[in-house]
Amino acid sequence: MSRPSIPKGTRDFLPAEVRKRQYIFDTIRGVFETWGYVPIETPAMELLETLLGKYGEEGDKLLFRILNNGDFLAKADREALAQMDSQRLALSIARRGLRYDLTVPFARYVVMHRHELSLPFKRYQIQPVWRADRPQKGRYQEFYQCDADVAGSDSLMYEAELVQIYDAVFRKLGLKVRIKLNNRKVLAGMAEVAGVADRFTDMTVAIDKLDKVGWEGVRAEMEARGIGAEAQQRLQAMLEARSVEALAEALAPSQTGRLGIEELQSVLAYLDGIELHNALLFDSTLARGLSYYTGCIFEVVVDTDAHPGVRMGSIGGGGRYADLTGIFGLKGVSGVGISFGAERIYDLLEELNLFPEGLARTLQVLGIAFDEATHRFAFRQISALRQAGIAADLYPEPVKLKKQMKYANAIGVPWVLLVGEDEMKTGKPALKNMHTGAQSAHTLSEILDILRADA
Amino acid sequence: MSRPSIPKGTRDFLPAEVRKRQYIFDTIRGVFETWGYVPIETPAMELLETLLGKYGEEGDKLLFRILNNGDFLAKADREALAQMDSQRLALSIARRGLRYDLTVPFARYVVMHRHELSLPFKRYQIQPVWRADRPQKGRYQEFYQCDADVAGSDSLMYEAELVQIYDAVFRKLGLKVRIKLNNRKVLAGMAEVAGVADRFTDMTVAIDKLDKVGWEGVRAEMEARGIGAEAQQRLQAMLEARSVEALAEALAPSQTGRLGIEELQSVLAYLDGIELHNALLFDSTLARGLSYYTGCIFEVVVDTDAHPGVRMGSIGGGGRYADLTGIFGLKGVSGVGISFGAERIYDLLEELNLFPEGLARTLQVLGIAFDEATHRFAFRQISALRQAGIAADLYPEPVKLKKQMKYANAIGVPWVLLVGEDEMKTGKPALKNMHTGAQSAHTLSEILDILRADA
């Protein structure tokens, strides 16, 4: 084997990339913890019976399935084999699949561990998920999700809290965003009021395209989906409402619509008097992932006023699902949660140059020696620095100075400790500042002070 | 679906478990970084051509294979199908597998990214691996490995450094261990000197059983494997040597043996004058994983003098492999590395009660309110605490005090903030210490001071 590679849609990460990703995860984790969320972890492999049917027909196709070990054909579906039916055969030769998201495993987790948990249970989870999507720029088959969810309470306080979490995380990351808020009941109310309650899904599919095709396109889509001109007009009028109040009157005839408005008002009341760094916008056209959301819906996009020229889809989303665990046999547990699009956030911070400086640097000093004896001496010096908590290294051999300095430059170390025969005799190695080029001899304890001051 | 479960051999982690695991990983990571190692990450899925043949025949069987997506039967091996040959069929319907360890992916990584790396490249990697081993107590199909390896240098300084890393990590974890050291060349030298160089593998397989079966058992095993009585006697004499010096003379006739002795002496010379917290022991009977190690070999076991009664196998191991990347077409890159058995370390810290106190606790204060108005007020108070970086939460509804206090006890929060009508009027909520039961009214800024002092 001469040219190794990795599966399409997967990635290796270089050290600098790992540190930048870690910075994003740590920032998100820190806010989650401050807001009272606790970490859980679930296995990469789930039983397929847990995953199948939870993400729609399309989702089922995108699951990675693990071939059963051993003589898997012994228990294979003979009929499926005879008919060369891959889809059916798969059910008999693969009983496990890779996690597709963090929400379904969380619902399963709550059901399995309900006797060990106190409700409301506020958990966060930062783990990779796998999807057999066609790989393309910015879309991977293995990627991290960062989720916070609350299970076991229908208090709208949590919707308010999740808005604050979005606000706090993006503030810390230096990214100005718009947090969009809507409510599924508001959308349902609109459909009722416009007399197209039976066309609810058609309506939301059309609305979801607004960003891409504009109002004309949305109306054409509605037309094609059997929503008449009058209903289109009434819907457009409601969808153009820019505030909850403006919509409240129009939705008054619908009980569901009124409930949606009340929920939104309740969330906003919690946030009353609390300063947000980012804009919180009511957006009645927000209709994402309606398949399982039942109440409030969130979406976060970049604030293009603050960051002009940036083109990027949503970098976060979430909502309320009144029946989180019913599918696993536990009724009456409401859930609400949000997710951060860590991969896109990474690309944005990179594009906008928002990663803190010095993130990639951990090594503070590299020792350089000139012969066997000074190399052994330098190893003890470097060891002493490490014992004191300084990230330090020693070039592995006393080769030519030029080669060692080239390595020091390549790895970007800020200080070099030069240990020659004189330095060994006096016990004062020369410390060179790689940035300024300045160099001076010091005792180890002085060096420790200098490096600590620079950490 | 009524009773969800997870695949055998996999685990969910509760919040307290995640934190304890994180503590172990963070400790190891901190030492790795202090010693100049940088993090990389590789995908969970590797191409099977990368993995197959690297772990022996047994290892190939333990790989988890990912079923190709879509109509995988269309490209299936017809002959294998006709013969119902699972093993052969698998090669045509699964091109990816789950990572089995971190060493092979690292070798692949070094080859693929060699133009982006400066050698010697010191990397660490803390990621899960998957093995289809029969699940049993303490053995899982998904578990974490924590590895540090150096690629691109044959300096024995790194062997010394890796001993220091073991020493530093276990010192920080409060676990007293014995770090065992041997060298494959020493074992090869013994075989030569005893005249059984052609029975090298038989010899090491027999030696590997010493802990379990004692000398009598080892000699019986040797006998069965065609190693005669005289060779057995000579081997036992050498294997009972307790120091490198004691063995040097016996190995003098073997060039390989002399080289092994020199390497060991060189490693020990680096460590000369450097204090270790744990015992470093030369152990000529150490013969682990000889399939790919070529030089020094390490193994770490619990010091049963310091921790009497503990029964646990090795909790770390590693060694030198002179040709790390040859299998991927890149010659001349030597590797040396170590691994920490994080799962076993976890069990040990638990058994010995060595996890730091307060690890599981992050939430500092829980707000409790008595009606709608005080609940809104409390939300703002809790929000202010969070903005100041205090991990704080609010019970989601102003239900009966008893129910809220029950929740506070269940989650083990150390402080409760009680907000009633009086407290709202005075702006001085009551802060209750859940440990002592003491309770007193304070302004928010006083509360902040109290909680910060207790953090």
By CB neighbour count within 10 A (0-12 exposed, 13-18 middle, 19+ buried), where does B266 fall?
middle
Q: Give the nearest partner residue to A12 out of B7, B113, B160, using CB atoms.
A: B113
- Other CB atoms within a 10 A radius of the CB of residue A436 amount to 7
Cα B218 from Cα A348, distance rounded (Å): 62
Nearest to A130 by CA among B1, B67, B126, B7: B67
Q: Note whether B10 and A45 are within 8 A (CB).
A: yes
Question: In the structure, how many helices (H) and strands (E) does chain B have?
Answer: 18, 16
Residues B16-64: tens digit of each pLDDT: 999 999 999 999 999 999 999 999 999 999 999 999 999 988 999 999 9
Find the length of chain A: 455
A83: three-class secondary structure by DSSP: coil
Contacts of A387 in chain B (CB under 8 A): 168
Q: Does B61 touch chain A (CB under 8 A)?
A: yes
Tokens 């909520």, located at residue: B429
Q: Do B270 and A376 touch (CB under 8 A)?
A: yes
Q: Count interface pairs A-B at CB distance under 8 A.
A: 282
Q: What is the rounded CA–CA span in Å between residue A324 and residue A292?
A: 9
pLDDT at residue B203 in the model:
93
Q: Would you say residue A94 lies in a domain?
A: no
Within 13 Å of residue A120, how many CA atoms lie on the same side as its CB?
A: 24
Strand order in the sheet with A177-183: A38-39, A121-130, A142-151, A335-340, A316-321, A296-302, A177-183, A279-282
Q: How far is B426 from chain A (nearest CA, A)?
A: 18
The answer to whether residue B95 sits within a structural domain is no
Rounded to 5 degrees, φ, ψ at B421 are: -65, -45
ipTM of the complex: 0.94
Asked whether A212 and A155 are in contact (CB, 8 A), the reply is: no
Burial class (CB in 10 A: 0-12, 13-18, 19+), A242: exposed
C-alpha dist (Å) from residue B52 to A42, A97, A242, A247, B80: 27, 21, 59, 62, 19
- Residue B1 above 60 pLDDT? no
For residues B206, B211, B214 and B215, what is the CA-based torsion angle, rounded to 10 degrees? Answer: 50
Q: How many CA atoms are closer than 13 Å to the CA of B365, on its beta-carbon side?
A: 32
Q: Give the integer Cα–Cα distance in Å for A388 and A410.
A: 25
pLDDT digits (tens, 9 = 90+) for B221-246: 999 999 999 999 999 999 998 889 98
Q: What is the CATH number of the domain that holds B386?
A: 3.40.50.800
pLDDT digit string (tens) for chain A, length 455 residues: 568 999 999 999 999 999 999 999 999 999 999 999 999 999 999 999 999 999 988 999 999 999 999 999 999 999 999 999 999 999 999 999 999 999 999 999 999 999 999 999 999 999 999 999 998 887 899 999 999 999 999 999 999 999 999 999 999 999 999 999 999 999 999 999 999 999 998 999 899 889 889 999 999 999 999 999 999 999 999 999 888 998 999 999 999 999 999 999 999 999 999 999 999 999 999 987 656 799 999 999 999 999 999 988 899 999 999 999 999 999 999 999 999 999 999 999 999 999 998 887 789 999 999 999 999 999 999 999 999 999 999 999 999 999 999 999 999 999 999 999 999 999 999 999 999 999 999 999 999 999 999 87
Q: Which H or E run contains B46?
A: strand B45-47
State the total domains in chain A.
2
| CB contact at 8 A, A190 and A257 | yes
Q: Give pLDDT, residue A135.
A: 84
Q: Residue with structure tokens 């039983």? A: A47
CB contact under 8 Å between A72 and B64, yes or no, is no
Per the CB < 8 A criterion, the answer to whether B324 and B109 are in contact is no
Residues of B in contact with A129 (CB under 8 A): none
Residue of B nearest to A155 (CA): B396
* Contact predicate A180/A283, CB 8 Å: yes
Q: Give the Å distances, CA to CA, from B190 to A269, B286, B360.
A: 80, 13, 51
Task: Say if B209 is an interface residue toward chain A (CB within 8 Å).
Answer: no
The C-alpha R_g of chain B, in whole angstroms, comes to: 29
Cβ neighbors of A49 (< 8 A, separation 6 or more) are A95, B1
CA distance A124 to chain B (A): 9
| Domain contains A112 | yes
* Shared domain check, A142 and A41: yes
Please check whether residue A15 touches B, CB under 8 A: yes
Q: What Å distances lie between residue B53 and B44, B48, B49, B338, CA to CA?
A: 18, 9, 8, 22
Same domain, yes or no: A297 and A391? no
Q: Report angle CA B192, B194, B195 to the nearest 5 degrees.
A: 65
Q: Which of B91, B92, B7, B99 is nearest to B59 (CA)?
A: B99
Is A15 in contact with B108 (Cβ distance < 8 A)?
no
B64 by Cβ neighbours in 10 Å (0-12 / 13-18 / 19+) ranks as buried
- Residues 264-293 of chain A with CB under 8 A from chain B are 269-270, 272-274
Main-chain phi, psi angles of A16, to 5 degrees:
-65, -35
Q: Is A92 on the interface with B (CB under 8 A)?
A: no
Residues of B whose CB is below 8 A from A328: 1-2, 4
User: Which of A139, A381, A443 shows the shortest CA–CA distance to B273?
Assistant: A381
The interface residues of chain A toward chain B in range 106-165, judged by CB-CB distance below 8 A, are 108-109, 111-113, 116, 118, 120, 122-123, 128, 130, 132, 141-142, 153, 155, 157-158, 160, 164
What are the chain B neighbours of A391 within 8 Å (beta carbons)?
33-36
In B184-303, beta strands by DSSP E: 279-282, 296-302
Helix (H, G, I), strand (E, B) or coil at A393: strand
Q: Is A337 helix (H, G, I), strand (E, B) or coil?
A: strand
B26 and B345 Cβ atoms separated by less than 8 Å: no
User: Are B32 and B176 in a shared domain?
Assistant: yes
- Counting every residue written for chain B, the total comes to 455
Domain of residue A374 covers 365-454
Provide the pLDDT for residue A129.
Answer: 97
* Residues B109, A12: C-beta atoms closer than 8 Å: yes
Identify all chain B residues contacting A407, using CB atoms and an 8 Å cutoff. 118
Query: Is A7's CB within 8 Å of B94's CB?
Result: no
Q: B238 and B180 in one domain?
A: yes
**Same domain as B334, residue B403:** no
CB contact under 8 A, B269 and A67: no
User: Same structural domain for residues A178 and A133?
Assistant: yes
For the beta carbon of residue A56, count every other beta carbon within 10 angstroms: 10
Q: What is the CATH number of the domain that holds A177?
A: 3.30.930.10
Among the listed residues B323, B322, B300, B326, the one whose alpha carbon sits nearest the alpha carbon of residue B313: B300
Question: Which residues on B lie below 8 Å from A39 (Cβ)?
Answer: 15, 18-19, 22
Pairing of strands A45-47, A279-282: unpaired
Put simply, whether A185 touches B (Cβ < 8 Å) is no
Of residues B65, B128, B328, nearest to A44 (C-beta):
B128
Task: Name the minimum distance, in Å, from the CA of B424 to any CA of chain A.
Answer: 15
B21 belongs to a structural domain = yes
Chain A: give the shortest CA distance to residue B435, in Å.
19
Question: Other CB atoms closer than 10 Å to residue B12's CB: what's the count?
Answer: 17
Cβ-defined contact of B329 to A3 (cutoff 8 Å): yes
Contact yes or no for A375/A349 (Cβ under 8 A): no
Alpha helices in A240-272 (DSSP H): 244-251, 255-271
Q: Do B12 and A40 touch (CB under 8 A)?
A: yes
The Cα–Cα gap between B443 and B455 comes to 18
CB-based contact A375 B157, cutoff 8 Å: yes
Q: Which residue of B has its CA nearest to A327?
A: B1
Residues of B in contact with A84 (CB under 8 A): 73-74
Min Cα distance B388 → chain A (Å) is: 9
From chain B residues 385-444, the ones with a CB under 8 A of any chain A CB are: 386-387, 389-394, 396-397, 407, 410-411
- The pairing of beta strand B121-130 with beta strand A316-321: unpaired
Identify the CA nearest to B226 among candidates B250, B200, B192: B200
Together in a domain, B289 and B376: no
pTM beyond 0.90: the answer is yes
Residue A355 token pair: 């990663």
CA distance B178 to chain A (A): 19
A295, A328, A351 — which closes off a domain?
A351
Mean pLDDT of B154-181: 98
Q: What is the pLDDT of residues B339-373, one digit of tens each?
A: 999 999 999 999 999 999 888 778 999 999 999 99
**Structure confidence at residue A242 (pLDDT):** 83
Say if CB B1 and CB A47 are below 8 A apart: no
Q: Which of B294, B319, B351 is the last residue of a domain?
A: B351
Measured between alpha carbons, how far is residue B178 from residues A22, B282, B296, B315 in Å? 33, 10, 16, 10
DSSP secondary-structure letter at B53?
Answer: T
Say if residue A428 is in the same domain as residue A328: no
**Residue A268 domain-assigned (yes or no):** yes
Regarding whether A203 and A159 lie in a shared domain, the answer is yes
Torsion sign over Cα A279, A282, A285, A290: positive
Residues B164, B240: one domain? yes
Using alpha carbons, list the distances in angstroms from residue A132 to A9, A59, B63.
9, 9, 20
Judged by a CB distance cut-off of 8 A, whether residue A44 touches chain B is yes
Query: How much is the mean pLDDT over chain B?
Result: 94
Q: Parallel, antiparallel, or unpaired for β A96-98 and B365-369?
A: unpaired
Contacts of A26 in chain B (CB under 8 A): none
B391: closest CA of chain A, how far (Å)? 4
Residues A152, A23, single domain; the answer is yes
Asked whether A312 and A170 are in contact (CB, 8 A), the reply is no
- Please report the pLDDT score of residue A313 as a whole number: 87
| Interface touch A34/B390, C-beta < 8 Å | yes
Interchain contact B84–A (C-beta under 8 A): yes
Q: Which residues of A touch B43 (CB under 8 A)?
A: 6-7, 10-12, 142
Residue B254 domain-assigned (yes or no): yes
Question: Are residues A274 and B69, on separate chains, in Cβ contact within 8 Å?
Answer: no
Q: Taking a contact as any Cβ pair under 8 Å apart, which residues of chain B between 346 and 385 contact chain A?
A: 362-363, 366, 375-376, 379-380, 383
Is residue A189 within a helix (H) or strand (E), and if so which, with residue range? helix A184-193
User: What residues contact residue B384 under an 8 Å CB cut-off, 6+ apart?
Assistant: B444
Residues of B in contact with A43 (CB under 8 A): 6-7, 10-12, 142
Beta carbons of A1 and B328 less than 8 Å apart: yes
Residues of A in contact with B94 (CB under 8 A): 67
- Shortest alpha-carbon distance between residue B353 and chain A (Å): 21
Distance from CA of A198 to the nearest CA of B (A): 29
Beta strands in B283-429 (DSSP E): 296-302, 316-321, 335-340, 365-369, 392-394, 415-419
CB contact under 8 A, A112 and B6: yes
Q: Do both A268 and A373 map to the same domain? A: no
A67 within some domain: no
Q: How far is A227 from A222, CA to CA, in rounded Å?
A: 5
Residue A320 domain-assigned (yes or no): yes
